[in-house]
Amino acid sequence: MTDDDLLTHMSILLQPDPKRVVIRPFDPAEDDPDTSLPRRAQRIADRVLGLKPDELAAERQRVSASLAGRYTDLEGIFTRRFRDVNGTAIKSCETTADQARLIGAYFSEEYAFEAAALFNPSIVLHPNQEGVAAGAARFVLSLRAVGEGQVSSVTFRTGVIAPDGTITVDPVSPYAMTPHIEFIPGGEPDDPGVRLVCGTGDDLSEAVIFPVTLSQRHGIEDVRLVRFIDDDEKVSYYGTYTAFSGGGTRLGLLRTTDFITFELNALRGDATINKGMALFPRRIGGKYAMLGRQDHENIWLSLSDDLYHWQGRTKIVAPRYPWEFVQIGNGGSPIEIEEGWLVITHGVGPMRNYCLGVCLLDRKDPTKLLARMETPLLRPNPQERYGYVPNVTYTCGALVMGRTLILPYALADSFTKFATVPLDKLLASMA
């Protein structure tokens, strides 16, 4: 059976857009060997404070005019940025409103967060299902957006799955919201917890989660979202991700209830030594459960009493077929169905071709592998295999509605598409 026998491909194509920009903090490098001078940041602020009133007004007007129509709260963004640096990067000072905003502008930069690629999607049910037709569902899609310097951020789309399986993605806002950044006490100096407030939630496509800490400075990669229901029926949304510092990676966990306020914290423990961890959508036997690929080759299961500390693991799935001889990993959080835990996998074969597969784990004991696909569910095809990284088909999470698998997937680490799969046919194709 080929993938075309199982999959229905949607016409949706999500591509990067260099016109989508956000304002992020700019911290000037401190490279002057003369330590007798004020810090570089202070020298910049002093130059602004030394402007004559007419010079100050003219420069403020020039900056505002150059960004007109691109942001909904430009003055607020610059004012908040001034408050961030005042008393930290520069000496605490009293300023006029115009001085504060212009100093804030000098410590900010515009960033095209999805100029190069928009890929590795993950999908969950939207927390707000009001106004959706019976049998339909609104969803949230997270995407890895790559911009200047190949730095990865997290961006979002929303849409609706109709009762017949038709998928529509909502139009993208012309604006992107610069998040309000707060550091959470605790953690390590280069990896503190971060709280980001991203807009009002009216349009999630405006929210952008870009690197903030030193451990993230080269990217927040491959969020694997899950709608988690705890034993008390409380619903939270979690997303494991890889933080890339430029010299190494760390795993982290994103947490939100409304897709407005996000908390990002590092994961700890010997089970967090590699990429690709994904949280189960509920506790198993009273413990949190996570899939991961700690050894670059196999899929492992880890259990924990604490969301942020993971010790120990059990190997549950190993490469078996030629299309996964190099390595196998989980594509996203396990999906609970009547027959067991459905896990989308990725396998790496010759020429580093990435294909998607599926396996089924026991609901009560997910260390037990019940079935798996012998051939890929989805592999790169000749028409769509080229992009930033050729021959890659990848996903960070799927969704089951009724007896249909909704599968967003990325091609060539460049763009994103959708497919649907009848669950009964999928299970019948597994051995």
Q: How many domains does the chain have?
A: 2
Which residue, of 66, 95, 111, is where some domain finishes? 111
**What backbone phi and psi angles, to 5 degrees, belong to 415?**
-145, 175
Structure tokens that stand for 319 in this block: 């490469």
Which residue, of 82, 111, 140, is where some domain finishes? 111
> d(Cα 150, Cα 117) in Å, to the nearest integer?
9
- Which H/E stretch holds residue 5? helix 3-6
Beta strands in 80-151 (DSSP E): 108-111, 117-125, 137-146
Contact status, residue 267 vs residue 201, Cβ threshold 8 Å: no
- Positive or negative torsion for Cα 300, 303, 309, 310: negative
86 with 181, same domain: the answer is: no
92 with 155, same domain: the answer is: no
Contact status, residue 408 vs residue 331, Cβ threshold 8 Å: no
- pLDDT on residue 31: 67
pLDDT tens column, 111-126: 999 999 999 999 999 9
**What backbone phi and psi angles, to 5 degrees, belong to 150?**
55, 35
pLDDT tens column, 389-428: 889 999 999 999 999 999 999 999 999 999 999 999 999 9
80 with 201, same domain: the answer is: no
215 with 304, same domain: the answer is: yes
282 with 240, same domain: the answer is: yes
16 with 116, same domain: the answer is: yes
Contact status, residue 226 vs residue 288, Cβ threshold 8 Å: no
pLDDT at 278 over 70: yes
Range of the domain at 61: 22-111
Contact status, residue 141 vs residue 121, Cβ threshold 8 Å: yes
pLDDT tens column, 25-48: 999 988 666 666 688 999 999 999
> d(Cα 237, Cα 281) in Å, to the nearest integer?
9
77 with 172, same domain: the answer is: no
275 with 293, same domain: the answer is: yes
What does pTM read for this prediction? 0.94
28 with 142, same domain: the answer is: no
